[in-house]
A and B are shown apart, each in its own frame.
Chain A
């Protein structure tokens, strides 16, 4: 007898519809899975067999063939356990076959017959709805995630026995609870930061214009603390953005059990030993999202920028420019969104104390120069803002916190972002060189100052454009429609400075 259930296979962030066909026929007892499954899919046989026995079902001792069409789509993971088990139940006549009409199912089976959560359920739900599915059956722990998709009936079960009872009409299943949000991670507030007026201002500008930021300073100056606070200055995610973020976390398997919609902007801080695959995504057969995608719509923080491998730094160019990464692997090629804001931090020299008022730097000029060369040029070009962070003096520490709270700054940031969007449709950081002049509208005085800066400060063409973008954001924060001289002045104060004072050519 033949039974059919629908399920999905996750490729990248997108779930593709996959059928599950189970046939029980005459022949020696055997079980065969066909249709491009990976090891985890093949191991479904053993898990299902144990789960059947432990749930009190008789194992059909006949020739069992399981097919997962389309056969050319690669399939990965343990989410096929549940649909295959349901197919077997129906094929063995343990549940009525009509109950499987329009039923979609994903989930992993434990040997005891319990259902375990799987990754990518949000994508599965979107695929099921699009394909006109009637009901999506998921493990109970994935129910909150699945119910984020409107206009789709979802049901959550705890065990295979509950599933069979439900299919026979003998019991009901746990209905989805009210729409839930993932518990918001504690977002650090800017009000906790003592002193650091220049860095606070740079964070505000970065948030308002979507600018990437470079923090330079000795160890212990508070670079990480500042970077973490950028997230709290960004406007809250709208529902579509939150769905995107949730979907990525779900596909990466990082969405906890019972998690609902993730509304907090992500903050990712990969260690400097991260591999290229870990940073931009990868994997042997079907690529998984990397840190740049996990930071999508949030902040990617690279501490100790000089310690990251050159290939890792270079791999950031595509996501920084295009807002997504495309990865091609043997089994599939996928695109992951990766529109993050980059905050990088570096010591000014190998010992970290160059320019430190408290401790003398022990590095020779050549060491500083070599250190500077380790910072990837193409990456530095994409960091619009540069700010020196120094340790906070005792007086500021004693004075305690007292700066503005994140919420106050966030209101100004939101207003500036609205102004930028209504003018150009994108944050100022993403203005192309061609759009810059029209969008920035510098006054004659501002132009003159920029000209002088090119002459006297050796500002490069890229530095010039960075400065103009930043000045535009500064003007937006001030509510000015023109970029004036004092906006450019402030922007020039945030320009790149060479680590080595005798190597100004590399800076600006």
Chain B
């Protein structure tokens, strides 16, 4: 069927314009939310009728995309990542830079707020590092805070990562993450957006963006979420789709950054104590690696983009990720994780220690000569809250000068950091021996 003539067609449009070009022009039209347009298309609207006089010439948009090294994907295109997990509202097109994202089954979304505590960001980072080591792609939103930590952790672990933006692929937002984005690009990561190049990061873009993060991932791990957090919408999107797993890192009832996570857990989300819980939830085939069907699927999915230049790069990126996963040896990969789970099931405290060493908490050995005051202060900081000297003084009963010197000790040992806003924990002590980590008072 020939597309219907738009009411006020742009100059470039004619009845002979191919559907793909019409859709590209529509996708590049500034104004309407892509998710809204997609819903109208899904409801049977004719793409050409949705064009506006200002809809840009698809030829120019395509040229711009080529300059950016990006491509325009439509459902049904080889490499369309949402084939098995269509989001709701639907997604009509994607702008993609970098290799095609792997199948949702091999991807995990790690989400959380921009103002998450340092401890929760460190949790996201170590979780992402562990997942990358297991050959799993980490999907997140490219924001500061937890998102940046997740992407960074995936790179640290030598894995691949997907950034789902709420703006155009060529818009440097957030500015603070530009260095990280460059690293991701160099490491063969993928950038996705529903928005055309040049689209500004409007607040309204982020909720629809979250449904894509959920759709691209076999599981969504909410590392941090206050009660009104956008991360919860990602989790809800995963839940409403039915296929995606929802996982959440719990916290104390008074920890604001955990309120959303705790709610999710009460409502049935999987509680995350460590990397193993995430790997278990993914229910991956026993042995990961380049030779497994899952690995092949990754290669297949990634190696089927539209333009001819990309397959090589994409294939290489996957090979690097998988190679490192194998080379790193145990305890990486799902098989190893299962082993840990068994050890934990059989043992007591030792098992718990192994679990915490397994990658969730940013733990490190407690220095031998550390003072009692430092231990008390870190105990007060252990739930991740940022606390000023005055509050630490109240929490520990120590004199302010002692608190300050204890903080210095913790800072120098890498357990805490200070800013004008207060002190916060960066890591917690891990002691396999009899003496446990300090507890909050």
Contacts and interface: CB of A to CB of B under 8 A. Distances in A.
A354 interface: yes
A365 B114 contact: yes
A507 B418 CA distance: 10
A489 interface: yes
Contact of B404 (A216, A369, A493, A498): A493
A456 B414 contact: yes
B405 interface: yes
B390 A393 contact: yes
Contacts of A348: 420-421
Given A357-B391, A499-B420, A489 B118 contact: no
Given A365-B115, A493-B404, A355 B411 contact: no
A348 B176 CA distance: 20
Contacts of B275: none
B434 interface: no
Interface string A430-468: 000000000000000000000011001100000000000
A198 B400 CA distance: 7
B386 A201 contact: no
Contacts of A499: 419-421
Interface string B418-441: 111110100000000000000000
A344 to B, nearest CB: 13
Contacts of B405: 489-490, 493
Contact of A354 (B176, B387, B389, B420): B420
Most A CB within 10 A of own CB, among B386, B389, B420: B420
A4 interface: no
Contacts of A475: none
B419 A498 contact: yes
Nearest to A499: B420
Interface string B135-154: 00000000011000000000
A21 interface: no
A504 interface: yes
Interface in B316-366: none
A492 interface: yes
Interface string B99-115: 00000000000000011
Interface string A183-214: 00000000000000110010000000000000
Given A198-B400, A499-B420, A388 B412 contact: no
B420 A457 contact: no
A124 to B, nearest CB: 50
Given A390-B390, A502-B144, A507 B419 contact: yes
A498 B421 CA distance: 8
B9 interface: no
A198 B404 contact: yes
Contacts of B424: 501
Interface string A335-368: 0000000000000110000111100010011100
A198 B401 contact: yes
Contacts, number: 82
Contacts of B421: 348-349, 354-355, 361, 499, 501
B421 to A, nearest CB: 4
A452 B408 CA distance: 11
A366 B118 CA distance: 17
A388 B420 contact: yes
B177 to A, nearest CB: 11
Interface string A465-508: 00000000000000000000000011011000111111010010
A348 B419 CA distance: 10
Contact of A216 (B114, B401, B417, B420): B420
Contacts of B404: 198, 490, 493
B381 to A, nearest CB: 13
Interface string B196-213: 000000000000000000
Interface in B377-416: 386-391, 394, 399-401, 404-405, 407-408, 411-412, 414
B386 A355 contact: yes
A497 B418 contact: yes
A457 B417 CA distance: 9
B389 A390 contact: yes
Interface string B161-175: 000000000000010
Given A197-B400, A498-B420, A452 B390 contact: no
A361 B417 CA distance: 19
Contacts of B407: 493
Interface in A296-354: 348-349, 354
A332 B36 CA distance: 71
Contacts of A393: 390, 394
Given A197-B399, A197-B400, A501-B424, A388 B417 contact: no
B412 A452 contact: yes
Contact of A390 (B174, B388, B412, B418): B388
B118 A501 contact: yes
B388 A388 contact: yes
Interface residues of B, number: 31
Most A CB within 10 A of own CB, among B144, B386, B394, B422: B422
Nearest to B422: A355
Nearest to A386: B420
A453 B419 contact: no
Contacts of A349: 421
Given A498-B420, A499-B420, A502-B144, A357 B388 contact: yes
Contacts of B390: 357, 390-391, 393
Most A CB within 10 A of own CB, among B390, B405, B412, B418: B390
Interface in B176-193: 176
A355 B412 contact: no
A493 to B, nearest CB: 4
Contacts of B391: 357
Contacts of A507: 419
Nearest to B388: A355
Contact of A457 (B114, B115, B401, B411): B411
A198 B414 CA distance: 24
B213 to A, nearest CB: 21
A502 B174 CA distance: 14
B417 A504 contact: yes
Contacts of A364: 114-115
A247 to B, nearest CB: 40
Given A457-B411, A457-B412, A489-B408, A355 B420 contact: yes
A499 to B, nearest CB: 4
Contacts of B176: 366, 369, 502
Contacts of B114: 364-365
Given A197-B400, A197-B401, A500 B419 contact: yes
Contacts of A366: 174, 176
Nearest to A199: B400
Contacts of B418: 497
Given A457-B411, A504-B417, A388 B389 contact: yes
Interface in B273-327: none
B50 to A, nearest CB: 34
Contacts of B408: 489, 492-493
A361 B424 CA distance: 16
Contacts of B420: 216, 348, 354-355, 388, 497-499
6 contacts: A198-B401, A355-B386, A388-B389, A391-B390, A489-B408, A498-B419
Interface of B: 114-115, 118, 144-145, 174, 176, 386-391, 394, 399-401, 404-405, 407-408, 411-412, 414, 417-422, 424
Given A390-B389, A393-B394, 18 more contacts: A198-B389, A354-B420, A355-B386, A355-B422, A357-B390, A361-B421, A366-B176, A388-B420, A456-B411, A490-B401, A490-B404, A492-B408, A493-B401, A499-B420, A499-B421, A502-B176, A504-B419, A507-B419
